[in-house]
Amino acid sequence: MTLKKIYYMMMCTLMALGTAACGGSDEDYIPPAIEPEKPGNETPTEDPRADVPIHEEGKEYTTYRGLVMAGYQGWFGTPGDGCSHAKHTNTAWYHYRENDMFKPGVLRNSIDMWPDMSEYTKGYDTEFKYPDGTTAQVYSAYDESSVLLHFKWMQEYGIDGVWMQRFVGEVIDNPDGKDHFDKVLANAMNGSDQYQRAIAVMYDLGGYNPQRLQKVLDDAKAIYNNYATTRKYYLHENGKPMIALWGVGFNPSERGYSNEDIQTLVDGLKEMGYSILLGVSTYWRAGGGDTYTPGKTSLHKLIKSVEAIMPWYVGRFGDINGYNTGGNEGGFANMVSKDLEWCQKNEVIYVPHCHPGSSDLNMHPYYTRNSRVKGNFYWTQLHNCIRRGCEALYIAMFDEIDEGTAIYKVLNKSDVPSNAADEEYYVVYNPKNEKVLYKNKSGYQVSTQSTVFMAYAPVDPAPTDGWCKSEKELAITFEGIDDDLKTDHYLWLTGQARKMLRKEIDLQSSQPKR
């Protein structure tokens, strides 16, 4: 309260007392008006955003700080694209397929969103049909033109670059997979050069084990020699090219490796000349949840030996309320601050992970589809991380239409192809892997391995805690961008988040208007 206001209140009180002492009526008294406070030289609210370095277009990327980068799967392939996968019928539709086919119907394809093909140089015909009856097409990342288009979009919308996913289980001891990912990586490096985007490699450790240590180091050495030290826009930190390892902190009995195993791999990569980003479990700091808590001490030791970490959040919350209140520490939104504080104390760059939503029903029809709420789900995470003082962001993912996290251009809801199957079948959800007698195309057999599978006759009774439903009853459609939004909406929002991180626009809790 200002001195001026206190003075007027004192005067009013004294005048009121004086009137009462003279025997007048309170109703006769009209106090003087109190003038409203005028804006003075009050200290403005401090901007909570971190002061990040501003990267200049055309310059080398010398730090992750100040950047908004996305994960890039690059794993989509098609018949006729020239990849070794295309020689085999079961792998020709690489990562579009499910149960060795790419056809309409749940469990017969793996994608939940459909790419907007209007700008691609080359498309590949499928068995799907657009609403107007024409043949739906998809792209192959093996084609350089597809990847170059994606990097063009990154430049147009102000996304700094991408982490190129390299799956250990698909490139080590797998010549066809190595052929695909080597070619996609080469395509992306050319895209990085042409459109001046940051680029770095991220190993997904699925399929890793200690016996593959030297093979992974050899693979990383080839990347170091061919790209990391020769390409202008390869991302660096502390003067060294960055490489990432995703899949750290989880239960070793499920992953096939321990924190100590990854420490050995990290030490080898650092000796090679790399700086390291670790993709860690959600509850890496406090333990519990997806984190192998008995290994927390070794996990923290491992984290302290690297330059940066990125915790994983897809599937951990399904809506804005879940983000704000879920988890075991008063909300995932609050966890960001606690994670950041720990990392700052231990001199590790904290890179929070944001995603626009997820959907994985064609492969896992027992999952729940997250609503994107027209971008509000995504913007809530972006705003929260930036207002908490984070210096960099990891977006999952640029092109992930399998799990429905993609930010690149996908079709609107009214334009997606039909996903209705051309034959009748049933889907059986068997969460306890019980012995189930079911009918396939060659007759009856017993399934004890699959959590979900197709059957060509009803299974009655259904498995314990599971179900048997017809494909028509499930009626799983492709997810699409809301019809009142443009197909580039999430690219645009990501670019706006970069502007907000760099303080080029105001910090705002509601997504900006176009």
Q: What is the pLDDT of residues 469-504, one digit of tens each?
A: 999 999 999 999 999 999 999 999 999 999 999 999
Beta-carbon contacts of 147 under 8 Å, excluding residues fewer than 6 positions away, are: 74, 141, 184, 187, 188, 190, 191
**How many CB atoms are closer than 10 A to CB 30?**
7
Predicted local distance difference test score (pLDDT) of residue 265 = 98
d(C-alpha 241, C-alpha 200), whole Å: 8
Q: What is the pLDDT of residues 309-327, one digit of tens each?
A: 999 999 999 999 999 999 9
Residue that is written with structure tokens 């390291």 in the block:
276
Kindly report whether the peptide bond that precedes residue 352 is cis, defined as omega within 30 degrees of 0: no
Predicted local distance difference test score (pLDDT) of residue 457 = 96
Predicted local distance difference test score (pLDDT) of residue 447 = 81
Q: Where exactly are the structural domains of the chain? A: 68-416+480-501, 426-474
Predicted local distance difference test score (pLDDT) of residue 304 = 98
Q: What is the pLDDT of residues 192-216, one digit of tens each?
A: 999 999 999 999 999 999 999 999 9
Indicate the pLDDT class of residue 30, thresholds 50, 70 and 90.
very low
Predicted local distance difference test score (pLDDT) of residue 45 = 74
Is the Cβ–Cβ distance between 468 and 474 less than 8 Å? no
Indicate the pLDDT class of residue 328, thresholds 50, 70 and 90.
confident
d(C-alpha 307, C-alpha 344), whole Å: 11
Predicted local distance difference test score (pLDDT) of residue 319 = 95
d(C-alpha 279, C-alpha 153), whole Å: 25
Nearest to 64 by CA among 79, 53, 73, 76: 53
The helix or strand, by DSSP H or E, that contains position 272, with its residue range, turns out to be helix 259-272
d(C-alpha 311, C-alpha 285), whole Å: 10
User: For residue 300, which amino acid is it?
Assistant: H
Kindly report whether the peptide bond that precedes residue 69 is cis, defined as omega within 30 degrees of 0: no
d(C-alpha 336, C-alpha 340), whole Å: 6
Predicted local distance difference test score (pLDDT) of residue 43 = 45
- Predicted model pTM: 0.90
Is the Cβ–Cβ distance between 444 and 437 less than 8 Å? yes
Is the pLDDT score of 39 beyond 60?
Answer: no
d(C-alpha 123, C-alpha 34), whole Å: 72
Q: How far is CA 159 from the centre of its chain?
A: 14
Q: What is the pLDDT of residues 86-107, one digit of tens each?
A: 999 999 999 999 999 999 999 9
Q: Please report the DSSP string for 49-114 in residue order.
A: S-----PPTTS----STT-EEEEE------TTSS-GGGGSTTTSSTTT-BTTB--SSTTS---SB-
The half-sphere exposure of 426 on its side-chain side, counting CA atoms within 13 A, is 16
Of 13-17, 97-101, 144-148, 363-367, least confident by mean pLDDT is 13-17
Give CATH for domain 68-416+480-501. 3.20.20.80
Indicate the pLDDT class of residue 272, thresholds 50, 70 and 90.
very high
Predicted local distance difference test score (pLDDT) of residue 334 = 96
For 67-89, what is the mean pLDDT? 97
Predicted local distance difference test score (pLDDT) of residue 28 = 37
Residue that is written with structure tokens 């990912």 in the block:
181
Indicate the pLDDT class of residue 425, thresholds 50, 70 and 90.
very high
Helices (H), 173-258: 175-195, 213-223, 252-255
Q: Percentage of residues in the chain with pLDDT exceeding 90?
A: 89
Nearest to 157 by CA among 492, 487, 406, 486: 492
Is the pLDDT score of 25 beyond 60?
Answer: no
For 402-426, what is the mean pLDDT? 97
Q: What is the average pLDDT score of the chain?
A: 92
